[in-house]
Amino acid sequence: MQHFDEWVTDSRIRLDELRVLVGRPERLAALYLDRYLMWQSSGTSGEPGIFVQDALAMGVYDALEAVRGPLVRWAMAHPGSVDLQRNLVLIGATEEHYASTVAAERLRKLNPWLRGQLHDLSFLQPMHRLRQALEALNPIVLASFPSVVLQLAEEHLHGRLDIAPQEIWVGGETLTPWTRAFVERVFGCRVRNSYGSSEFLAIAFECAHEALLLNADWVILEPLDERGSPVGPDVEGASVLLTNLANHVQPLLRYVFPDRVSLLSRPCACGSALPVLTVHGRDDDVLHLPGSGGRTVMVTPLAITTVVEERAGLLDYQVRQVSPGTLVLSCGPGQADADAKLRRGVEELSGLLAELGVVGAQVTCDAEGTLEPGPAGKVRRVVGSPKGNRPDP
């Protein structure tokens, strides 16, 4: 990002202009220079990226979704019963210029008939409001992050959420077998996984055998070990190199990507010639915090990271739950205005928790704390207390 203006292949593109535009919600999915679409990443590696897409790149993403994405597979799985008059609902950070939010708004602009059927809901609102909105929309398809749909499944299990989606689409976080089994049992429908990023929207799609198949005709992944050397088939890397073969305005060639990926040596039993991959991406914890009347409030890690990164401006940080009602916000070394950002982070987190119905929570900051690494050595942004009993899938 330090060399962004020299990186892009159109000299009219300026990073300072893009940074202003991605901070304005009313500019969501608006074209830059009447030509380019733009979005930002969440900054999980410590520096948020801004990505510019030309028409060719967007056409490739559209084609991959149309041919291999979940919409076609959903229609094939429910022949004669797909009701496009029912709603499709995306739950995410609705006012931020993230790739999924921008892509959804672009679809509505290109297909006006979708404006009444494709809806965005924020995961930053209290659960009772999210439940009300979902029940009013009664989605036929629900799309979000695994941690969010897990929370909704628990609401449905306890009789607090009455919706009946035909399918649930997830991405953006690691989908564990436990989460898939639990959500599918509770809602009685198929969960379809996908793998995409700000750098390439449609990296991999899920086949009928629940395997992720790499769109290897348009994106190249090269897993690396901790020393940056290539790893062989069936070995999980510590990071991965990504090459985007579609985007010609902001070339991504062997771009270092933090996910832990392995490419399997055996083809999938579905018969596809595309490589099978496994991916270990975000695996932050859902926080369980005290609410009124002795109930527990579940707070998704995406809600935590959104307010810390977007509102407080912290990029390298960690939120740890050290007791049932206490969170500690720490930041990594070398961040400008760290003390001020930590104080702002405490204020924003405290406000979020109060809005979500958490009672008596205390948020403190630790300017000199260390960021605890996860099992693979990478910093997890949200670390909860050891999990209590969970319902069996």
Query: Topology of 287-383 in CATH?
Result: GMP Synthetase; Chain A, domain 3 (3.30.300)
The pLDDT of residue 142 is 96
Query: Kindly report the CA angle at 34 between 31 and 35, in degrees rounded to 5?
Result: 80
Contact 127, 353 (CB under 8 A): no
The pLDDT of residue 182 is 95
The pLDDT of residue 41 is 85
State the DSSP H helix or E strand holding residue 304, giving kind and residue range, or none if neither.
Answer: helix 301-306
Q: What's the CA gap between 136 and 144, in Å, rounded?
A: 18
Closest CA to 347 of 323, 372, 312: 312
The DSSP code sequence of 48-74 is --EEEE-HHHHHHHHHHHHHHSHHHHH
Tell me the pLDDT of the chain averaged across its residues: 88
No. of H helices and E strands in the chain?
A: 10, 20
Size of the chain, expressed as the number of residues it contains: 393
The pLDDT of residue 393 is 45
Over residues 298-309, mean pLDDT: 88
Over residues 159-180, mean pLDDT: 92
Q: How far is CA 140 from CA 85, 89, 115, in A?
A: 9, 8, 15
Residue scoring higher pLDDT (388 or 259): 259
The pLDDT of residue 78 is 64
For the packed helices 55-68 and 70-77, what is the interaxial angle rounded to 10 degrees?
Answer: 20
Q: What's the CA gap between 393 and 191, in Å, rounded?
A: 14
209-263 pLDDT, tens digit per residue, is 999 999 999 999 999 999 999 999 999 999 999 999 999 999 999 999 888 999 9
Residue 179 has pLDDT above 70, yes or no: yes
The DSSP code sequence of 255-273 is EEE--EEEE-SSPPTT---
Contact 97, 43 (CB under 8 A): no
Q: Where are the domains of the chain?
A: 287-383
Contact 143, 89 (CB under 8 A): yes
Q: What's the CA gap between 307 and 297, in Å, rounded?
A: 17
In the sheet that holds 219-224, the strands lie side by side as 219-224, 239-244, 255-257
Over residues 192-220, mean pLDDT: 95
Closest CA to 366 of 347, 393, 338: 338
